[in-house]
Structures are given as structure tokens and as C-alpha cells.
Structure 1
């Protein structure tokens, strides 16, 4: 969204490039909605494979599905008419939550927090496997997911409510330079940097442990084929979710760094090449995860085929503590 020096938003496309950008975002949003919707349906259908990790994956796909729908709706509504309703109360709510895209941004933050919850679950499964098998339950998985949905939007909602008001029949962005810097830093820390640090630490510990496990497997023979198979499955699932984390970093780092420096007083050409690339990458993240699942999760592919051809889903490992089988 562009803003002029007077603080008025001007989101309605004014040139072919902006129309093209909005169209591309809608295509990405539609792809994300279809892909994430299929993930939720397939994992729900493959009931024998529902477990702790899959519960968090369903939560991740559900929020990415909602984000994709909101992205399309927001772009279309603001492209058609950016004026707030005539009713004062509705106009205030419209400017604070919809026109400012606070709801959309909050969904992106929920996705980030849920990915952090997945990293925590994988950390416990790999680093503390005995405690994980004995104590971790579906209840804990849903607590992690629910906590992400409840606390992630707090910062975005509070700051959005302070900065967006109604005036002259338009939504106005009100924020002094020093306030913008503080808000920008707080949003950067809450939305991106703190979750990034937590996930980076957890996945580094996980990678080190997986490397140690590989060395142990190369030097020792296992008499328990089922246990060895579970270990390999756990390792492959974690690698797949590590790929999801890496894609998150690649997609979101440019956008977060760009707007941090802008909020700190730096220059940013809205609609320029760099802003467009950063925006597309951030939008793309909600659509890319189902592609990873489709390439890596064997039961996801079998479940998808069963939806299309009405066949029974093939069986996989029945360890309740593990995710769907990874090819």
C-alpha cells in the first residue's frame, strides 16, 4: 500500500504495473488457497496418520489458507473502492482492521508463530525423544497451535489501532517519525526476529543431533528394525520441515529488512523493483509449503490420489508420534 506525504493511503492501482502486481498476488493467493486447502483435507482424510506433527501442519495450512483468501479479498476490495463506510463505527473498524491490512498481517504472523511451534515440537522429538514419547500428547500439540493463533496478532492489532483513523472520508495513517521508528522495531522483533532466533537455535540443535545420530547408525547395528525405521522417519520429517523453515527465511527476510529500514527513516520506493520483489516473495510463502508436502510426503500424495480417484489410501507407519511418511 502506498502512502503520500499527507498520510492518506492510495491503494487503488493507478498504472498497469500496479494492476499486474495485484493480479499476480491474486494468482499466488488462489494457488495458496487451493494448495493449503488440499493439505487440510488430505491429512484429515488419512485418519490413521493423524498425529502430533500433523496436527501442527494442519494448523499451519489452515492459517495459510485463510491468509490466501484474505489476500485476494483485500486486494479486490481496495482496488474497487478504498473509501470507508458512512457509519462512523464501521468506518473506524474498517480503517483499523481492513484498510490497514492488520487482519492480513496478523494472519502472516500467526503462520510464523505456528512454524515456531512446529520447530519446538520437532526439537522435543529429536533432542528429548524419551520424554517426547512418554509425555507429549495431542493436547500439547493443540496448545502450541492455539497459543500461536491467540498471541501472534497482539502487536499488529495494538499498533494498527493507534495509527489508523478516519478523516475527510478516507483512512488516514497517523504516526510521527519517532513513533514510526519505535513501532517498526517492535513489529520487526515480534513478527520476525524473535521467532527467527528461536527457530534458528532449535533447528541448529536438531541438525547437530541428526548428524550425531547418523554417525551412530554408521558404526552400530540395530537389532530392532522397527525402531530404526522410526528414527529414519523422524529424521526425514524433520528435514522436510527444515526445508519449510528455510523457505520462510528466504521469502520473508527481504520484506522485513526493507520495512525496518523504512520505518527507521530510510528511503523506500513503493511500487519500485525492490519493493515489488520483496512483496511477491512474502506473498509467495503462503503458497509454497503445499508444494514441499506434495514432493516429500508419500501419504499426502496417496491421499490426494484417493480424493481424485476414490481409492483407499495406502498404509504407512502407525507410530502415533510420527508424521506422515516421507519419501
Structure 2
């Protein structure tokens, strides 16, 4: 089985090597053969669909609750909605990619190149995961500014800055995935072909994707969140605030920040095994596709989009109250609440 970076992370396709053409070895994907050949693989696909469904429902509710049931649209709300929106689309794409395993994947005649580059290569869903990572980095930046530099934050930081952070994450995160998708997937004889690069290029691109999609954002988030949490801890031990309203706002801000720090910790837990596994694979190491370790890494990574709404439901009282309001029997008669306040 041939593979490049983690293009086979979601689904392992059946590859058959053909003759060498220049410095590259074309690997033909098709005619389509279902991947699942035993009950374990069927169960894995079913589990991924369940994870995708939970993620779609949960993140969809987060978007509705925060956007509809709120007193005001503040900056962190906007970034959390952006995070939930990309995780919502990612969950739907996860389900669609699993379903596509069981249908004929011959590219449409008029859109064959686009189909192979963006859909068959899984570039879209990998790009969505990258956007989710970059958006979480934007959240870490916003929390850092709000807690470490509160005066500058309240005087200077505006809705425009929040939008810039969110839009930037959506625009620049997919760059590496699109580059590799265009370079490695072509149409040949009405089928999608995967062009396996030489080992040296595979190693370079594998390292670049690891750095761009995971390691650099991870380092930025770790620095910002730990500085922020440390500042909150110092504030808790030194502050004595008699103003009840101000105290309430500070407690809410701490709750939001600590909850988002939990989201970051879960991101690290879910994605580290997969990223490290495919880094060593692209550096020439061995990987047992379908083995226990690969399966665990696969489940952890795909579940990340589904766990965030659970964190919100457990940690945010405002979110739980808003959800109850939306489920009220009296249509449109929901209470306007603070939502997730900064």
C-alpha cells in the first residue's frame, strides 16, 4: 500500500503500483473496491459515522444557541461560533467521505480534475481540520489579549479584529493541503491517480505539513494558554473584589478561558497520536494500516470535532440555559441571556 502524508488517514484505499514514469510512480486508484473487508472495518466506518453525526448535531446546536440566545455578540462568541461552524462542516464531510466508500467513485466527466484534486484526495476534509486548528489558535490569541492585556483589549480590540482572526484562519490554513492535493492527484483513463513522490520529497512535504497543520499552532497555543491560565491563577490568589457585578464578570471570564483551555487540551490529546504517527511514517518509518495503534489514532482524531460541544454543555451554564430556552414549548419565547461572555 502506498501513501503520502496522511492522505490515507481517513480511509485507506486499495492501491496497485504501475510502471515508473520519470521520477514519480503513478498509483492507480480504481476501479473502486470497498475498503471494508471484515467486521472490524465495517464497525470502524460505522463508528466514524456516529462520531460525525454527534459532531454535526452538537456543533450545530452550539452555533444556534450562541448566535440566537444571547444578550450581545461579543468577540469570543464570534470565534467560538466560527470554531463550531467549521467542526459542523467537518463532521458532515466525515460522514460523506465514509459513504463515498460504498459508491462508484469515477470522476464526473466535466469536473474530473476538480473531483480528483479536492474530493477523492480528501483535501477538503483535511483543510477543514487545519482550519479548526488555526481557529483554535485565534481563540488562544483573543484570550491572551483579554486576560494578559485587558486595558489594551477593551480600548483597542474590536469586532473587526475578531473577524480578521476568524477569516485569516479560514483562508491560510488550507494552503499546504491544496498544494499537496494539486501536486499528487491527477486524472488518468477516467480514474483518479495518486502520484507517489520520491522519498526525499515525501519526507520534506511530510515535515512541512506536520509543522504547518499541527506543531507551530500547537506551540503558539501552548504558550498563550499557559500564560493566560497562569495569570488567572495569580489573579485568583491576589484579588479582593467587593463589587459584586464586577466579580461576576471576572468569574465568567475565567470560566470561559478555562473551558477553552480544556478544548485545547482535548485537541492535543486527540491529534498528537495521529500527527506523530504519520510524521514518522513520512520519514520512512513503518505503519500498520488497520492495526490497533492506527485505529486508535484514527478514532481519536476524528472524534475531536465531536467533543467540543460536550465540553460546552458540561462547563457553560449559560449554554445549558440557552439550550433549554431553545427547546421551550412556546416557539420563539426563549430568554435572552448572556451566552458565553468574555
Which of residues 159, 173, 178 is equivalent to 2:200? 178
Deviation beyond 3 Å, 4+ runs, structure 1: 8-11, 314-317
Q: What count of residue pairs does the alignment treat as equivalent?
A: 315
> Contact 1:299 / 1:314 at 8 angstroms: preserved in 2?
no
User: Structure 1, residues 273-325: CA drift from partner, whole Å, max 9, x if none?
Assistant: 111111111100001100011111112111111121144326449xxxxx349
Gaps of 5+ in 1: 318-322
Q: TM-score, length-normalised on structure 1? A: 0.92
Q: Does 1:64 align with 2:87?
A: yes
Q: TM-score, length-normalised on structure 2? A: 0.88
Q: Which residue does 1:103 correspond to in 2? A: 124
Structure 1 or 2: larger helix share? 1
Identify the range of structure 1 (277-286 vs 204-213) with the bigger mean alpha-carbon deviation. Answer: 204-213
Distance 2:341 2:310 in 1: 15
Which of residues 29, 32, 36 is equivalent to 2:52? 29
User: Structure 1 residue 22: deviation in Å?
Assistant: 1.3
Q: Which residue does 1:8 correspond to in 2? A: 28
Q: Does 1:74 align with 2:94?
A: no
Decide whether aligned partners of structure 1 residues 173 and 261 sit closer, same or farther in structure 2, where only a CA change above 3 A counts. same
> Contact 1:298 / 1:324 at 8 angstroms: preserved in 2?
no
User: Structure 1 residue 66: deviation in Å?
Assistant: 0.5
Q: Which residue does 1:304 correspond to in 2? A: 323
After TM superposition, list the pairs within 5 Å mapping 1:278-317 onto structure 2. Answer: 278-309=297-328, 310=330, 311-313=333-335, 315-316=337-338
Distance 1:212 1:90 in 2: 58
Which of residues 92, 105, 117 is equivalent to 2:138? 117
> Contact 2:63 / 2:85 at 8 angstroms: preserved in 1?
yes
User: Structure 1, residues 190-233: CA drift from partner, whole Å, max 9, x if none?
Assistant: 0000000000010111122112112212xxx3232222222222
Q: Secondary structure at the match of 1:82?
A: coil
Identify the range of structure 1 (40-49 vs 198-207) with the bigger mean alpha-carbon deviation. Answer: 40-49
Which of residues 266, 274, 294 is equivalent to 2:285? 266
Q: Which residue does 1:167 correspond to in 2? A: 188
User: Structure 1, residues 251-277: CA drift from partner, whole Å, max 9, x if none?
Assistant: 000110111111111111111111111
Distance 2:141 2:256 in 1: 14
Q: Which residue does 1:199 correspond to in 2? A: 221
> Contact 1:99 / 1:171 at 8 angstroms: preserved in 2?
yes
Which of residues 67, 79, 82 is equivalent to 1:44? 67
User: Structure 1, residues 69-106: CA drift from partner, whole Å, max 9, x if none?
Assistant: 11111111232223223x2x522211111011000000
> Contact 1:300 / 1:324 at 8 angstroms: preserved in 2?
no
> Contact 1:244 / 1:289 at 8 angstroms: preserved in 2?
yes
